[in-house]
Structures are given as structure tokens and as C-alpha cells.
Structure 1
């Protein structure tokens, strides 16, 4: 009997009303990891035609892309992005997906850095949430 392969790292999905915002935040978070081997991070921004909005189908694709078997943390920018993800969380295929209650950019960076270092779902969610307390003054 073969041993089951270990799960990969926690993936991160960034859901924004804007494709450009989601893609830029994903690129920034990946670049700030510093190891050259960031955890999977996938943007899900805008509608399929490129306009502003939130698409459940793009979120589904991004989750599938970021999932290495250790779960996926989703960060949302606001409003309907949050509602779309919450609706998807009720589906069976989203059983290992969690939404982070965190600031979008700071939370994304903290989540990707923590996931890249091998943090589990609890650690990645905590890091994203902790980003809320980063003081600028």
C-alpha cells in the first residue's frame, strides 16, 4: 500500500471587483515572499468580459488553481465579492476554503508569506487577520 502524498501549501485567492486590482495584489504578495517560491496565489477580479464586478465562475477557477490540497484562504475587497464567496462556501467543493476577515492588500501579503513558509490554514488566517492591526503612524 502506497502512502498518500502530503498536501501542498495553503493557497490564497484574491477576489476584487477589478481584474487589475486582483492581479496587482497577487503579484505584489508573491513578490514580497522573498524566497522565489511563493505559495499559490490566484486573482479572481472583475467579470469574465473584463468589466467591473464579481464572478462566481472566476472565483471557482481561482480556487481550483490555488488548491494544492491544504485548503485555500480567500480575501475579498468589499461588498458583492464577500457575498459571492460566502455563497460559494456552502458548496461541497468549497469545504476546505475559508474567507479571511482581513484588509485586502495587507492581508494578502501576510497570507501569502505565511502560506509560503508552510503555515497551515489556521496560521494563514491568523496572519491575514493580524494585518488589520498594522499601524502606519
Structure 2
């Protein structure tokens, strides 16, 4: 089992694309699930989609959630208020954090370490 990762975005396409990249770079050993858009398929966020993604990503070792901005962050934080278990929010850049989280999870890191790896992605400069 590994720690799962959930990508929460206002855009379904962005969440799915980020999840695909992170899943691939996590060597397909990590459950990386998208929760993008609102329940009707438009832009927005959905607590129901987040709960479903967490359920699919959780193999028993916990789940780390990443969010793009604004109401996606609020949706994750609200979910975590009522969520039983070992789900954590990582305040991290979405794409870089997701890749770092999936890589850490694939190496067997625990939930706290996976969240820390995602947060450390802020330090990776591109220039």
C-alpha cells in the first residue's frame, strides 16, 4: 500500500492532466485521483467529487490533497474538518507538488513525508 494523492482544481481538465502526470512520474505505483470542476462538469469545486477522489485514492496508508486556489482550498479544508482517517492538505504548488508527492509516495514515504515533499516543491526554482 502507498499514500494516495488527490488533485483538487476548479478545472476538470487541469485536475485530470495533473493527476496523469503525477501518476506516471510516480511509476504508476500511486493512486493519484483528480477532483476537478463542479458536479455538473463546469468550472468550480465540489465536496462530493473530493470525497469520491479521496475514497478512490485511499489504500489504507492515508491521502494527501493538493488544491489549485481559492474555493478549491476552502473545499479541501472543509472536507478535512469532517473527514475521518489520515487525509492531509499540502500547501504546495499544484503540478510540482503533485509530482513530488507521487514520487515520495512511490518510494514508500508516509503521509506526513508525502505532504512535506509536496510543500518542498516551493523551493524548486526554474530559472
Runs of 4+ in 1 over 4 A off after TM superposition: none
Distance change in 2, residues 1:101/1:92 (3 Å):
closer
1:92, distance to aligned residue in structure 2 (A): 4.1
1:63 maps to which of 54, 69, 73: 54
- TM normalised by structure 1 equals 0.89
CA distance in 1, matches of 2:72, 2:5: 15
What do you get for the CA RMSD once the two structures are aligned? Answer: 1.0
- 1:27-38 equivalences under 5 Å are 27-33=20-26, 35=27, 37-38=28-29
1:16 aligns with 2:6: no
The runs of 5 or more residues in structure 1 that have no matched partner are 1-7
- State whether residues 38 and 113 of structure 1, in contact with CA within 8 Å, keep that contact through their aligned partners in structure 2: no
Q: Highest CA radius of gyration, 1 or 2?
A: 1
**Which runs of no fewer than 5 residues in structure 2 stay unpaired?**
none
**How many aligned positions are there?**
127
Equivalent of 1:84 in 67, 75, 83: 75
Compute the TM-score of the two structures, normalised by the length of structure 2: 0.96
Note the C-alpha offset of 1:17: 0.1
